Structure 1
Amino acid sequence: MPRGLLLVGVVLAAQLCACTAQPYVGSRGADGFSVEFMHRDSVGSPFHDPSLTPHGRVLVAVRRSTVAAKCMSTSRVDSPTLDGTVSEAIHRSFEYLMAVGIGTPPTRMLAIADTSSDLVWFNCRNGTGAAPVRPPSVVVFDPDNSTTFGLVGCKSRACRAIPDGITCTLASNCKYIYSYGNSSRTSGLISTETFTFAHVPGTARGHRGRRKRVATVNFGCSTATAGTFQADGVVGLGGGALSLVTQLSAHKSLGGRRFSYCLVPYSVNASSALNFGALATVKDPGAVTTPLIPSLVDTYYTVDLQSVKIGNATFAAPHGHHHVIVDSGTTLTFLAKALLDPMVKELSRWIKLPRAPSPDKLLTRSTWQPRSHRPDTCIY
Structure 2
Amino acid sequence: MSTSCSSILFGFSLCGFLLCSLKLCYAFEGRETAETTLLHRVPNGKHMQVVHSHGPCFSSHGKSTAPTVAQVLAQDQSRVDTIHSRLSTGGDPLRASSATIPGKSGRSLGSGNYVVTVGFGTPKRDQTVIFDTGSDLTWIQCQPCVKSCYKQQEPIFNPSSSTSYSNVSCTSAQCSQLTSATGNTPSCSSSTCVYGIQYGDQSYSVGFFGRERITLTSTDAYDNLLFGCGQNNRGLFGQVAGLMGLGRDPMSIVSQTSQKYGKFFSYCLPSSSASAGYLAFGREGTSDSVQYTPSSINSQGPSFYFIGITGISVGGQKLSIPSSIFSNAGTIIDSGTVITRLPPTAYSALRTAFRQQMSSYPTAPALSLLDTCYDFSQATSVSIPKINFYFSGNTNVDIDASGILYANGLSQVCLAFAPNSNDGDVAIFGNTQQKTFQVVYDVAGGQVGFGAGGCK
Alpha carbons 1:115, 1:300 under 8 Å: kept: yes
Structure 1 residue corresponding to 2:203, chosen from 170, 181, 184: 184
Residue 306 of structure 1 corresponds to 310
Matched, 1:226 2:234: yes
Matched, 1:257 2:257: no
Residues 14-29 of structure 1 correspond to what in structure 2 (within 5 A)? 26=42
* CA–CA distance in structure 1, aligned partners of residues 298 and 114 of structure 2: 24
Matched, 1:197 2:216: yes
* CA–CA distance in structure 2, aligned partners of residues 25 and 81 of structure 1: 38
1:78/1:42 CA distance change after superposition, 3 Å: same
Matched, 1:90 2:107: yes
* CA–CA distance in structure 1, aligned partners of residues 205 and 292 of structure 2: 36
Residue 6 of structure 1 corresponds to none
What secondary structure is seen at the aligned counterpart in 2 of 1:290? strand
Structure 2 residue corresponding to 1:119, chosen from 137, 143, 147: 137
1:336/1:261 CA distance change after superposition, 3 Å: same
Matched, 1:108 2:117: no
Q: Greater RCO between the two (CA within 8 Å, min separation 6)? A: 1
Residue 135 of structure 1 corresponds to 151
1:69/1:87 CA distance change after superposition, 3 Å: same
Alpha carbons 1:149, 1:194 under 8 Å: kept: yes
Residues 33-48 of structure 1 correspond to what in structure 2 (within 5 A)? 33-39=46-52, 41-43=54-56, 44=58, 46=61
Counterpart code for 1:154:
C
Give percent identity, aligned residues only. 22
1:101/1:86 CA distance change after superposition, 3 Å: same
1:39/1:259 CA distance change after superposition, 3 Å: farther
How many residues get paired?
327
Residue 434 of structure 2 corresponds to none
Counterpart code for 2:298:
S
Alpha carbons 1:261, 1:272 under 8 Å: kept: yes
Residues 166-177 of structure 1 correspond to what in structure 2 (within 5 A)? 166-171=186-191, 173-177=192-196
Alpha carbons 1:259, 1:276 under 8 Å: kept: yes
Alpha carbons 2:321, 2:345 under 8 Å: kept: no
Alpha carbons 2:344, 2:423 under 8 Å: kept: no
Structure 2 residue corresponding to 1:248, chosen from 225, 245, 257: 257
1:57/1:318 CA distance change after superposition, 3 Å: farther
- The root-mean-square deviation of aligned C-alpha atoms, in Å, is 3.3
Alpha carbons 1:40, 1:94 under 8 Å: kept: no
What secondary structure is seen at the aligned counterpart in 2 of 1:211? coil
* CA–CA distance in structure 1, aligned partners of residues 269 and 152 of structure 2: 30
Q: Give CA deviations for 1:219-256 in whole Å, capped at 9, x if unaligned.
A: 00110123222210100111111111111113xxx341
* CA–CA distance in structure 2, aligned partners of residues 170 and 106 of structure 1: 27
* Structure (1 or 2) with the greater strand fraction: 2
Quick check: 85-94 or 325-334, which moved more?
85-94
Q: Give CA deviations for 1:245-268 in whole Å, capped at 9, x if unaligned.
A: 111113xxx34111011233x225
Matched, 1:273 2:291: no
Alpha carbons 1:114, 1:327 under 8 Å: kept: yes
1:283/1:315 CA distance change after superposition, 3 Å: same
Counterpart code for 1:273:
Y
TM-score (norm 1): 0.74
What secondary structure is seen at the aligned counterpart in 1 of 2:77? helix
Residue 333 of structure 1 corresponds to 340
* CA–CA distance in structure 1, aligned partners of residues 203 and 64 of structure 2: 25
* CA–CA distance in structure 1, aligned partners of residues 212 and 222 of structure 2: 9
1:320/1:63 CA distance change after superposition, 3 Å: closer
TM-score (norm 2): 0.63
Counterpart code for 2:360:
L
Counterpart code for 1:242:
M
Alpha carbons 1:89, 1:227 under 8 Å: kept: yes
* CA–CA distance in structure 2, aligned partners of residues 91 and 224 of structure 1: 16
Structure 1 residue corresponding to 2:83, chosen from 66, 72, 87: 72
How far off is 1:144 after superposition? Answer: 0.8
* CA–CA distance in structure 2, aligned partners of residues 334 and 373 of structure 1: 9
* CA–CA distance in structure 2, aligned partners of residues 28 and 274 of structure 1: 15
Counterpart code for 1:35:
M
1:371/1:194 CA distance change after superposition, 3 Å: farther
Structure 2 residue corresponding to 1:237, chosen from 225, 234, 246: 246
Alpha carbons 2:344, 2:422 under 8 Å: kept: no
- Structure 2 gaps, min length 5: 1-24, 27-38, 87-91, 373-417, 427-456
Matched, 1:151 2:167: yes
What secondary structure is seen at the aligned counterpart in 2 of 1:321? helix
Structure 2 residue corresponding to 1:214, chosen from 205, 218, 222: 222
Residue 375 of structure 2 corresponds to none
